[in-house]
Structure 1
């Protein structure tokens, strides 16, 4: 006899499409509309309040905060996130950690967030910044990882693997330290970016490189 769940196990909540980076493998990179603003408008805040209400009413078990870059707007939606935390809804966050500070870490811990998924495109700083379309992206993410780990937050580092960074998989997998877990995956991208995708024969090399 099967038991039916009362709500989704996890909901991915995109707090904002705005981001500090403009990574070429991200769906936001291929959008043709205007680049979003960091500060949420009143209309956008209304939508976030309604979303939080829906999550509460449906008694969702876990919420993953995503973006864009969620740390860019987290202070604006803290009232709603505090409501989720007070209701016992567990949360984690996907962030590039470019905006990570001790103050930001305190906000995350206040919400009960203990797990972070971040991204690093390559151990090659120049290549990483090229993919992120932002000079200094590598250093900002590395510094953010250090801050998060120093505050006792669990960090997993995801590497989106493409033809651009395939040759740096092994070095990138070795880079994270201090109990940081490395992972890699092939991106699901728009048809206009198919040139970034790996050949099927190359996919197995990802897991072999990180486990080796």
Structure 2
């Protein structure tokens, strides 16, 4: 079982990584080529690497067979460095704010998962986020994680921690360390937490999970989710993270479901709406992509269509993803020609979901105070709706509840 990963990564050159550690090192192309040749010849760990591993991670690799200690990744075909994968949309919670909407228990069987993970490897994916639904309740989670880890991927897990205490999960993560375990936190007390996730006893299993993970020294970080149900407990959630010494981030902006339903917007805590950073473009579809439970690749979890069937097309299908991304991220409809696009904090796929959900503009548009949009330099009180028609009286619409 490898202790280090050697891999090309985007334009950052060639990296040496250690699973479970945020520390890495950049190496010259010549060193990477040396490792590839040594792996093919079943050689030993070269002096420069065992010395660096000793100094950087206190690892003793002197005299070890390279293939036993280091997973040497081949260059990817398309330069993708990161991906997210929804193992299954099923969940043991029924959170009031969930963006997934319909949380169906369905997905790929084992042979299909192996095929998709091999595509990710061939595409060059080094960092893989496993998510859901709730990935830890997926019946093939342990096998899927094990296989991806053995392919030489740095794995992050997004979870509610309700199963994190289970021995088979803890043993897996001790033996094959994750890069990060990101845990969603829904309250600081049992009454509030259970009410938000709509499952009695959920806080107790969550607390058991984070306690077990802390005792095992697993690399956690917290996402503190704030809604109208728990917005009075944000300070308590912060205290929970700080008591454990876990980094955290507060998420308070609700979005429609991926089907365009407005239900999550009803629990938006208006006082906690946060200003988004200006959206100046992203690498989704170019260096990063998303995979759903059926093996369909898209630029991200929001912009899901068009997509590419990796089971049918394999890694070659990803040749089309960059063009799809460019099309979806281009400002369209009422956003076309807006003179303040440079300070807009909402990407176009997310704007489309807000429009489909008939959301008040205040949730996603910086013109929310006046209801005006600026099209080709001209102020207007109308905007193009998601279906291409004209919607009037935006100032009124912005104040209408969903």
TM range (shorter): 0.7 to 0.9
TM-score, structure 2 normalization: 0.44
- Are residues 1:202 and 2:272 paired? yes
Aligned partner of 2:337 in structure 1 is none
- Are residues 1:63 and 2:128 paired? yes
The one of 219, 243, 249 equivalent to 1:183 is 249
3-state SS, counterpart of residue 11 of structure 1: strand
User: Which string of whole-angstrom CA distances, capped at 9 and with x for unpartnered residues, describes residues 155-212 of structure 1?
Assistant: 112111122221211122112322222321123233233221233x53359xxxxxxx
3-state SS, counterpart of residue 273 of structure 2: helix
Distance in 2 separating the partners of 1:19 and 1:142: 18
| Cα contact 1:117–1:155 (8 A) shared by 2 | yes
Aligned partner of 1:209 in structure 2 is none
The alpha-carbon deviation at position 117 of structure 1 amounts to 0.7
Distance in 1 separating the partners of 2:130 and 2:269: 28
Aligned partner of 1:25 in structure 2 is 97
The one of 217, 224, 227 equivalent to 1:162 is 227
Distance in 1 separating the partners of 2:154 and 2:118: 15
3-state SS, counterpart of residue 64 of structure 1: strand
The total of aligned residue pairs comes to 195
The alpha-carbon deviation at position 50 of structure 1 amounts to 2.3
CA RMSD in angstroms comes to 2.6
Aligned partner of 1:123 in structure 2 is 188
The alpha-carbon deviation at position 9 of structure 1 amounts to 3.1
Distance change (3 Å), C-alpha of 1:4 and 1:119: closer
Distance in 1 separating the partners of 2:123 and 2:174: 24
TM-score, structure 1 normalization: 0.80
Return 5+ residue gaps in structure 1 as ranges.
206-212
3-state SS, counterpart of residue 175 of structure 1: helix
Q: Which of the pair is proportionally richer in helix?
A: 1
Distance change (3 Å), C-alpha of 1:153 and 1:204: same
Q: Choose 44-53 or 142-151, whichever is displaced more.
A: 44-53
User: Which string of whole-angstrom CA distances, capped at 9 and with x for unpartnered residues, describes residues 22-70 of structure 1?
Assistant: 1111123x32xxx634xx67x5334322221211111201001101111
3-state SS, counterpart of residue 163 of structure 1: coil
Structure of higher RCO (CA pairs closer than 8 Å, 6+ residues apart): 1
The one of 237, 242, 262 equivalent to 1:172 is 237
Distance in 2 separating the partners of 1:117 and 1:48: 22
The alpha-carbon deviation at position 110 of structure 1 amounts to 2.8
3-state SS, counterpart of residue 118 of structure 1: strand
